[in-house]
Amino acid sequence: MSDKISAPLSLRSVRVTDAFWSREMDLIRTAVIPYQWDALNDRIPDAAPSWWAHNMRAAARAVAAKKAGGGYTPAQRNCGFTVYPEEGTAPRDDSFYGFVFQDSDGYKWLEAAAYQLAVKPDKELQKQAQEAIDLICAAQEEDGYLNTYYTLTGREKAFTNLKDHHELYCFGHLTEAAVAWKQATGKDDLLNVARRFGRCIADKFGPGKERGCPGHEIAEMALYRLYEETGEAEWKELAQRFLDVRGTEPSTFALEENRRLKKEGKKELPVTAARYTYYQAHKPVREMDEAVGHAVRQMYLASGMADEARLANDEAMLAACERLWRSAVSEKMYVTGGVGGTHVGEAFSRPYDLPSDTAYSETCAAIGLAFFARRMLQLRPKAEYADVMERALYNTVLSGMALDGKSFFYVNPLEVDPAACETDERLSHVKPVRQKWFGCACCPPNIARILSSLGQYIATQSDNTLYIHLYIGSEITAKMNGQEITLKLDADLQKGTARLTVLSGETEGTLAFRAPAWADNLRAAASGAQHTQFVDGYWLASGRWQAGDTVDIAFDISVQAVAASPLVRETMHQVCYTWGPWVYCAEEADNGKNLHLLRACPERTGEARFTEKQIGGLTLPALTVPGKRVAAPENAPLYAPWQPSETEETKITLIPYFAWNNRGKGEMRVWIETE
Amino acid sequence: MSDKISAPLSLRSVRVTDAFWSREMDLIRTAVIPYQWDALNDRIPDAAPSWWAHNMRAAARAVAAKKAGGGYTPAQRNCGFTVYPEEGTAPRDDSFYGFVFQDSDGYKWLEAAAYQLAVKPDKELQKQAQEAIDLICAAQEEDGYLNTYYTLTGREKAFTNLKDHHELYCFGHLTEAAVAWKQATGKDDLLNVARRFGRCIADKFGPGKERGCPGHEIAEMALYRLYEETGEAEWKELAQRFLDVRGTEPSTFALEENRRLKKEGKKELPVTAARYTYYQAHKPVREMDEAVGHAVRQMYLASGMADEARLANDEAMLAACERLWRSAVSEKMYVTGGVGGTHVGEAFSRPYDLPSDTAYSETCAAIGLAFFARRMLQLRPKAEYADVMERALYNTVLSGMALDGKSFFYVNPLEVDPAACETDERLSHVKPVRQKWFGCACCPPNIARILSSLGQYIATQSDNTLYIHLYIGSEITAKMNGQEITLKLDADLQKGTARLTVLSGETEGTLAFRAPAWADNLRAAASGAQHTQFVDGYWLASGRWQAGDTVDIAFDISVQAVAASPLVRETMHQVCYTWGPWVYCAEEADNGKNLHLLRACPERTGEARFTEKQIGGLTLPALTVPGKRVAAPENAPLYAPWQPSETEETKITLIPYFAWNNRGKGEMRVWIETE
């Protein structure tokens, strides 16, 4: 399968020029990253504290004391899943504060900062990032161990609870940041921190050592990335070890628990893996066939599995990845590209259980789905992977952040009635408005890192083929058959056209263009092509390319009324509207209250019209579609003999889903009832 | 308003002859009551223990020891909401076991047993009941206090947690049983136990004493019943005191909590009532306007309020009852007569939130609704009260028990997919099959007591009017204008006819017949009537009645397709079918899996046909209605452009809701999607 394997383009080789996406990326640089730096330093007045810098500084002091031969007092305050001390008060001692995985917040921020620095120098940001890195270096223990929770609460307990204590998760995020920093700045400092911690971990859990694997996955894909960056086989081997141990008997998570139970004189548990579904540790990874458990973890694991399939040419792993993909996207994905149907365990629910109002659909899970999709594209360039990746990026990932970059959704429901969210405990996980910062702040920095690295999703390349997956205006420098070539991608989705122009360089090779699932009648013309073909949803033009050559792509895009499979009980009789990659939704601001009384007329979708709407300072293409409104007279009896509904003609106004809740609190619905 | 006030007929004056209901009542006598006696004595092998008899015996020994001047050791094991010791093992000591309200199980059983004894002598049952009563007498402390939990765990803590510890709830059930026992047997023994405990409570919380009220209501209506039985004003005054204190500032529940917090050196709470919605203690009862909180408690409170309105001619209370009634039945009631839309707090949800699959709709809450409805009928004989009472009795109350009387539902959903219930924590309260006995066994004995006293729901009477509410064959002895008259009610719903025949006696008076909401074209003819009129849904025939007189009632009953108000989001596009008082449902046993793919055709309801179906040994009138089935091809894409559904014509088979889940585990739906 190696001939088809491709890789994302390097960080510096894609410059996004598209107006919409440039604005999003600028927002990350100018608003989100500085805000999050303040958050990491607990300088946001009304937000939950991060404790990140505090914990790092406290750990650095503890490490210094240790090196100086002095002791330090382990301490812990409000750690784990408990409350914080009075909000906004700075801790007065060197205790550990916040969640056990708090270190990762800063690593995610650093990764996003590195991506930004790769495309645009920024002295202030560079200074802050270096400050963070210096702090991290100082907090690393002499043997390479790095985790402020255990450094501050008792190093002797390190590595005793891989299932729930996120040490390997923090290591994974550290490593992702380290590689990004190296690629952006050429600097090895953070990379060496990751290497030293990695060796400390490998000494304990590497091949031939104690069996163990991460409770929250990410280390797998981070290690493959470190391997690809450094060429050092030890990282690939450690990743493989984690994958191979996962889900095998006796369960390492059960063994861990039993050691604790034994110490406490309690009855030990059976050591079977089957009950660790939440952690995707219920069966060996190569046997997995259903996306289950915590959705972010499942997507991160699948991403690491796809890396293994690609880098080790591991056919059994590829087959498992394909089964997980099919399960996730054909039975368990929201139309918005979100995954995670239930808040119980923030998890995948059973097939076709996709409730709109109690949805979990965590922003991070959609990001994870994009990770997985890009890796599947690297394995096998098939348009369906890019279709899903695009659906997630354009909808759920973006909806996770307000248009001003200042507030965030953790959960992305497809139907919201604020009155219900505010009074109903069954909806307590669904916030009707975005929040400034969370105590468990995984989503905001995750959005920052994926949007900052958007270029890596636009195109991938193999030795002689450049694949264009997303029609996002950009300048791309690629190496094809060893020759550098610079190209300009212009795209105008409103017109349904895209043009790739060779700016400089000359080479033999293939330029491949995705035919999106939402487009009809793809038409393509390439000035320099000697051979064209259509494979797996990509139009491939092969030939010799030189400056001035162009490839023109055109397709028809129309508003579509989309229905879900009849096996999805929740969306019976409902449609949603899409246009290109965007999913649309109805908001109370445009359509009044009681959105469930609206009736779409999908057979009249041809009457849909675009209108411009100002939302959050942006001019967005809103849609009006023909519809009806059911009369709901006051004092209508609760139950009465059935009669056809009384309706009146109306226009339903829809806006892109990602832009919802930027005009105050109100009802929202993606799925509209039909007549 | 006193001219309209009516009372239920006395226990011995109605003998149910109707074949269907006689069977249900016989089942209670022959299967349920003996089974529950075994359960109270922990003699059911695979069921959760009740601990009732154990706790009573242990308390009796403690009381005896105390009387003898000796001390006793308070003890408590697994009390409150924790697990039991190994199931099926008998406790080996005199500790208290089970829930804090465990005493009430036996009182409910006694009440049901008394009702049965009132209509049919049964030596064995009489012996068991007397054994139970002797045990209760022995467990009563010298000052009248009676609660095994506090007797066994420390009497000094008695009355310190009225909010959650159910002492007054147990007193209420004791009193209900005591009055029933007195009425059934003429014996005063249990009545005197209730009186003594009542005086002990009144000494503490009566008028002019410490403010306090029950956390779980029932004492109110029990006290009014005791007052009506004995004529002793003290019980009415104590009930009034509980109602008057409830929901007023400072909240007695908050004061209670604060005393505990203060003792523990913790920060005290604000003493405002507003947060005690769960307990209906959030505002003064006469100001209440919405059915809220724990549904059973709300219904029991409303029943006590209705008693107060009637017995004290309390207009403000009547108005509050009418508001609560309107809220409960016009905005918050399932079509099956169930109430409680959410399992969070086993509670009323917000208006029009009536989910079918996550429904709570506890059996006891439907029983409570019937209590409330009958009391509203006593206040104001309006057919709408009887319509609701009948809907609850014929559907949710009956569905709470298997047709063989051996297993029970606590929760009565309107849509069940067993696979979902078994894997989805969000549905963990919904059992797809009935259970043998619950640790919290409120429902089984509650079904026993309401079905055993069914006669009290068939008819009520005022001084000169006998109201026939339910068309259930029976023999009724009533006193009208001081003269005894015996009547025979025959009803044949299939034919839509009923006849009341005067068997003996002679009197002036009015015979009133309900025109059910589900019947059309009520036609009536009375041989002895001098004057007829139609008032509040009742047809009234006044005259002089003597043996041989008859009143003939006829009405048209047809199968109805019923829709909910458009404000109920859950049942958009859905209908259910009713016939007379029965709500019908579709089961997998008749219609295969994926019931959500069925499409009803409500405009063709005239094509509905009855067929006989054998279920659980009964021959039941099943229905077939015209419908369609949506094709759901394997491998249908999860999302695709909308197109009209492909359907094929089918017949949908429906059975009465109460009879569901008597043919093994399977899907069930009350609400069927329409085209």
Q: pLDDT per residue over A120-176, tens digit each?
A: 899 999 999 999 999 999 999 999 999 999 999 999 999 999 999 999 999 999 999
Q: What is the model's pLDDT at position B412?
A: 97
- Find the closest chain A residue to B343 by CA distance: A426
Exactly one of A170, A200, A364, A442 is catalytic; name it: A442
Q: How far is residue A50's CA from residue A101's CA, in Å, rounded to a whole number?
A: 11
Interval A324-379: pLDDT, tens: 999 999 999 999 999 999 999 999 999 999 999 999 999 999 999 999 999 999 99
CB atoms A632 and B335 under 8 Å: no
Work out the minimum CA distance from A236 to partner chain B, whole angstroms: 36
* Phi, psi for B626 (deg, rounded to 5): -70, 140
Q: Are B198 and B238 within 8 A, CB to CB?
A: yes
What band does B1 get if pLDDT is binned at 50, 70 and 90? very low
Q: What is the model's pLDDT at position B629?
A: 97
Q: What is the model's pLDDT at position A185?
A: 94
Exactly one of A141, A176, A257, A346 is catalytic; name it: A346
Catalytic residue flag (residue B346) = yes
CB atoms B566 and A597 under 8 Å: yes
Three-class secondary structure of residue B7 per DSSP: strand
Work out the minimum CA distance from B648 to partner chain A, whole angstroms: 14
Q: Which positions in chain B touch A560 (Cβ < 8 Å)?
A: 641-642
* Burial status of residue A358 (CB atoms within 10 A of its CB: 0-12, 13-18, 19 or more): buried
Mean pLDDT taken over chain B: 92
Q: Which positions in chain B touch A631 (Cβ < 8 Å)?
A: 566
For chain A, which residues score pLDDT lower than 50? 1-3, 74-90
Question: A280 is written with which tokens?
Answer: 């995707």
Q: What is the model's pLDDT at position B445?
A: 87
Q: What is the model's pLDDT at position A601?
A: 97
Q: Are A501 and A49 within 8 A, CB to CB?
A: no
Interval B184-230: pLDDT, tens: 999 999 999 999 999 999 999 999 999 999 999 999 999 999 999 99
Q: Which positions in chain A touch B356 (Cβ < 8 Å)?
A: none
Q: How far is residue A340's CA from residue A353's CA, in Å, rounded to a whole number?
A: 10
N-term to C-term CA, chain A: 49
Q: What is the model's pLDDT at position A71?
A: 59
Give, for B36, the enclosing helix (H) or strand (E): helix B33-40
Work out the minimum CA distance from A521 to partner chain B, whole angstroms: 16
Interval B114-158: pLDDT, tens: 999 998 899 999 999 999 999 999 999 999 999 999 999 999 999
Structural domains present in chain B: 457-556 (2.60.420), 559-634+642-673 (no CATH)
CB atoms B640 and A563 under 8 Å: yes
Task: Find the mean pLDDT for residues B336-346.
Answer: 95
Res. B23: pLDDT tops 70 = yes
CB atoms A641 and B563 under 8 Å: yes
Q: Which positions in chain A touch B566 (Cβ < 8 Å)?
A: 597, 630-632, 636, 645
Q: State what percent of residues in chain B have pLDDT above 90.
A: 84
Question: A226 is written with which tokens?
Answer: 């470190």
Work out the minimum CA distance from B15 to partner chain A, whole angstroms: 33
The closest CB to that of B426, out of A344, A420, A562, belongs to: A344
CB atoms B561 and A602 under 8 Å: no
- Find the closest chain A residue to B674 by CA distance: A573
Q: What is the model's pLDDT at position A1?
A: 36
Q: What is the model's pLDDT at position B4?
A: 53
The closest CB to that of A426, out of B333, B342, B565, belongs to: B342
* Burial status of residue B231 (CB atoms within 10 A of its CB: 0-12, 13-18, 19 or more): exposed
The closest CB to that of A639, out of B562, B602, B636, belongs to: B562
Q: Which residues contact B623 (CB under 8 A, 6 or more apart)?
A: B559, B577, B579, B584, B608, B609, B610, B611, B653, B654, B655
Three-class secondary structure of residue B115 per DSSP: helix
Which candidate in A335, A639, A674 is best for mutational testing of the B interface (most B CBs within 10 A)? Answer: A639
Catalytic residue flag (residue A421) = no
Q: What is the model's pLDDT at position B70?
A: 64
Q: Are B241 and B204 within 8 A, CB to CB?
A: no
Pairing between strand A618-630 and A559-564? unpaired
Work out the minimum CA distance from A302 to partner chain B, whole angstroms: 21
Q: Which positions in chain B touch A605 (Cβ < 8 Å)?
A: 642
Q: Which positions in chain A touch B568 (Cβ < 8 Å)?
A: 638
Res. B484: pLDDT tops 70 = yes
Interval B248-307: pLDDT, tens: 999 999 999 999 999 999 999 899 999 999 999 999 999 999 999 999 999 999 999 999
Interval B572-625: pLDDT, tens: 999 999 999 999 999 999 999 999 999 999 999 999 999 999 999 999 999 999
- Find the closest chain B residue to A388 by CA distance: B639
Q: What is the model's pLDDT at position A509?
A: 94
N-term to C-term CA, chain B: 49
Which candidate in B573, B638, B657 is best for mutational testing of the A interface (most A CBs within 10 A)? Answer: B638
Of A653, A665, A471, A433, residue with least CA distance to A580 = A471
Q: What is the model's pLDDT at position A406?
A: 87
CB atoms B573 and A673 under 8 Å: yes
Interface pTM, i.e. ipTM: 0.92
Q: Which positions in chain A touch B573 (Cβ < 8 Å)?
A: 572-573, 673
Strand partners, A483: A480
CB atoms A331 and B639 under 8 Å: no
Q: What is the model's pLDDT at position B72?
A: 54
Q: What is the model's pLDDT at position B10?
A: 81
Question: A572 is written with which tokens?
Answer: 């019976």
Of B288, B247, B291, residue with least CA distance to B271 = B247
